[in-house]
Amino acid sequence: MAMAMASGVSPSLMAGEKCFLSGRSSISFGGFRSLVRVLNSKGRLSFVAINIPKATAPTAVEEGKSNETDLVPTPKVIIDLDSDPDATIVEITFGDRLGALLDTMRALKSLGLNVVKANVHLDSSGKHNRFSITKVSTGRKVDDPELLEAIRLTIINNLLEYHPESSTKLAMGVAFGVEPPKEQIDVDIATHVNIYADGPERSLLVVETADRPGLLIDLVKTITDINVTVQSGEFDTEGLLAKAKFHVSYKDEALRKPLEQVLANSLRYYLKRPTTEEDSY
């Protein structure tokens, strides 16, 4: 299933109007609203607004370990579009500090999502909270970049609010956390782009770079700007880094070497030199 480019979650778009992402996304995290610039079918610039709900007061089960002074684990948020054909998988790990994440589930439902399954498993890296989510309106998996980014920011917002110690480990802790990360990542050094063969009909694009708000949307826009189709993938937020794996194709075929080079160069150039005009983080 190709990753959709317009989520349809905003009433500002006319029904059935075809839209394409244009320019940078602008996400106002403090106000919990994502504004995504789009060009409609008539070439006019407009905005799609996605409200990122603020969670309610912490539940007792999620308060327990916020004040511990031991080593803070690295938070991880995984959004997986590959594992389940019918649902989008979201996995959240923060050592053994997470409770039932009831507030996170409520916040996701406020985005028009349905949590159809939830489970927890433990391993040496901690407690993994795994949710299967679908859109209430369609009963299908989420594959819209704007809504996927809203999901990611909603989860990170809850981590910063209910586990303030996580701000020292998250890139967005610089602006929105209690304490900024002690480590700073050089985006030029952190950015890696690789493309691998993945059969005759698609290629595997792997990107690693410094995390920031709106990154998932901007990655998809940069890829589709050169007419490469994003079929599915996985987007991981791991502390200060973001790691993406996208299955991509060109006219239903795997990318050929010249197009691989164009795609890799475009992503490296964009990610290492992100523009900041008109953005307000």
Task: Map residue 241 onto helix, strand or coil.
Answer: strand
pLDDT at 275: 53
Task: Map residue 138 onto helix, strand or coil.
Answer: coil
pLDDT band at 70 (very low <50, low <70, confident <90, very high): low
Burial code (b: 16+ CB inside 10 Å, e: under 16) for 25-44 equals bbbebeebebbbbbebeeee
Domains parsed from the chain with CATH numbers: 73-176 (3.30.70), 187-272 (3.30.70.260)
Angle value at C-alpha 62, between 142 and 147, nearest 5 degrees: 15
Rounded Cα distance, 281 and 274, in Å: 13
Contact 76, 94 (CB under 8 A): yes
Rounded Cα distance, 23 and 25, in Å: 7
In 52-112, which ranges are E strands?
76-80, 88-93
pLDDT band at 176 (very low <50, low <70, confident <90, very high): confident
Residue 38 has pLDDT above 90, yes or no: no
- In the chain, DSSP finds a helix count (H) and a strand count (E) of 7, 12
pLDDT at 67: 46
What average pLDDT is seen over the chain?
79
pLDDT digits (tens, 9 = 90+) for 47-69: 344 454 444 434 433 444 444 44
Contact 145, 21 (CB under 8 A): yes
pLDDT band at 124 (very low <50, low <70, confident <90, very high): confident
**What do you get for the CA distance between the two ends of the chain, in Å?**
32
